[in-house]
Amino acid sequence: MKKTISIINEVLVDLFNDILTIEQTALKEGAFNDISITEIHTIEAIGMYVPRTMSEVASDLGITVGTLTIAISNLVKKQYVERQRWDKDRRVVKIALTRKGKLAYRIHKKFHSDMVKSTIEGLNEDEEQVLVSALEKLNEFFRSKYNIKKG
């Protein structure tokens, strides 16, 4: 049991660190080398199709609207995001991805899709279910322990 705990701890720590490093490297070496991991996750939170309010996106990211405003200003300068006044209430500003932002979104989504496909490649259905169950259990632990809402 003690050896299992040690192995799982090492794998999880390495996995979390490796994913961040790989994502950063992929961004720096790819077509979108002008954005950070934080910015790509902001792009992901904005989403592809429906313009969203700053409050909605900030809430999804677990940050303040003020912090998001700085990030959005940078993404607007880099032409990944655009601000739009809402027709029904001109005081409300919505944010949406530009064509360049949508391309970055799709490429990042493919990175995650490839990562997941590689993870389950060669597993049978029972092994896939054990992996899913273990990951859900781990995710639930983090969410309940650190009061993270499901996003």
CATH of the domain at 84: 1.10.10.10
Average pLDDT in the 103-108 region?
93
**Percent of the chain scoring above 70 in pLDDT:** 98
pLDDT of 32-67, one tens digit each?
A: 889 998 999 999 999 999 999 999 999 999 899 999
Total domains in the chain come to: 1
- Looking at residue 29, its amino acid is E
Q: Which residues contact 69 (CB under 8 A, 6 or more apart)?
A: 54
Average pLDDT in the 126-141 region?
94
Does residue 61 fall inside a structural domain? yes
| Structure token pair of residue 151 | 């996003």
The whole model's pTM is what? 0.82
**Which residues make beta-bridge pairs with 89?**
86
Does residue 125 fall inside a structural domain? no
- Looking at residue 37, its amino acid is I
Q: How far apart are CA 100 and CA 142, in angstroms?
A: 34
Using pLDDT thresholds of 50, 70 and 90, give the confidence band for residue 149. low
pLDDT of amino acid 93? 85
| Sign for the pseudo-dihedral over CA of 49, 52, 54, 56 | negative
